Amino acid sequence: MQVIKKINNNVAICLDQNHDELVAFGRGIGFPKIPYELTDLSKIRMTFYRIDTYNFKLMKEIPENILDVSAEIIQKAQAVLKHDLNQNILFSLADHINFAIGRSKNNIKVNYPFSYDIRSFYPKEYQIGELALKLIKNKLDIQLPLEEKIAIAMHFINSQVVTTLQLSESSFNSIAELAIKEVEKQFDLKIDCNDFIYNRFVTHLRYYLKRLESNEQINDGSSKLIRTSFKQNYPKVCQCTVDIVNQIDKQLNTVSTDDEVFYLMIYVQRMISQTSQNKGEKNE
């Protein structure tokens, strides 16, 4: 196995004997000078294939211990669910856990009003959420709020492999540019395309478009209870997001659900908030 790019000391991007790209976990495999040939495959603990390349940079932003515990949660989840998972859940789950830990340290609580539905209709995924909190406690010595079981369970509910995006890269870039320009125009901001929060928005946008294309949109009413409050607190963000979605639906001849629109609103709001904060710091 050839190690071609370091993510951290224990995680690296590799090529297997068929020259297929993968992310490998193993103690010290990212430490030697890259590239090199790894002959002792017993060092490899876990591998993840078909990771989208735009996630590689984002993975570097996540602390090594969080990335490691996320990979272990996924490994155990596969044994419980007994079906393949979208390998990109590695990034989305690690990203979620990283932010959940930050919220917990700042005593910010998030309520998930559909917790009863998750426990009732997705017992295996709920079990994984419970397992995840125990692993995080054991590995990181951090006790996340019990509500995070629901959020983690939802990652696995939505982790079924979806149809490959048929949009060309140029078409996707055009839609991403459309969204960014709309935000910049309505909020008089300049979005930094190298910023982490921009990449998180683009990642969500990709999966939103995949769900649109494969007709697997989020449409369970899960956001209904908090949508009203969000609209009251962020009316301009809501209008901006609706304008973006209307343009996307017109371009792709689709009809986005209220749930999808709401979740896109959340990422738009985060991007605006972080960009505004960065702008304020630069002006000080």
Are 183 and 272 in a shared domain?
A: yes
Length of the chain: 284
Could you report the per-residue pLDDT of 213-223, keeping only the tens digit for each? Answer: 878 788 877 67
**Once rounded to an integer, what is the mean pLDDT over residues 187-192?**
93
Could you report the per-residue pLDDT of 92-148, keeping only the tens digit for each? Answer: 899 999 999 998 888 887 776 556 667 776 788 899 999 999 999 999 999 999 989
Q: Total domain count for the chain?
A: 3
Q: What is the pTM of this model?
A: 0.54
Are 56 and 91 in a shared domain?
A: yes
Are 56 and 144 in a shared domain?
A: yes
Question: What letter does residue 256 receive in the DSSP assignment?
Answer: -
The answer, yes or no, to whether residue 207 has pLDDT greater than 50, is yes
**CATH label of the domain that carries residue 29:** 2.30.24.10
Are 137 and 219 in a shared domain?
A: no
The residue among 161, 194, 210 that closes a domain is 161
The residue among 161, 188, 216 that closes a domain is 161
**CATH label of the domain that carries residue 148:** 1.10.1790.10
List C-alpha distances in Å: 184 to 16, 176, 181, 201, 234.
43, 12, 5, 14, 16
More confident residue, 90 or 245: 245
The residue type found at 245 is V
Q: What is the pLDDT of residue 163?
A: 41
Are 56 and 155 in a shared domain?
A: yes
Could you report the per-residue pLDDT of 137-181, keeping only the tens digit for each? Answer: 999 999 999 989 988 998 887 775 444 445 677 788 899 999 999
Domain of 44, in residue numbers:
1-50
Could you report the per-residue pLDDT of 225-264, keeping only the tens digit for each? Answer: 788 888 889 999 999 999 999 999 988 888 999 889 998 9
Which residues contact residue 71 at a Cβ distance below 8 angstroms, ignoring those fewer than 6 apart?
A: 25, 46, 48, 90, 94
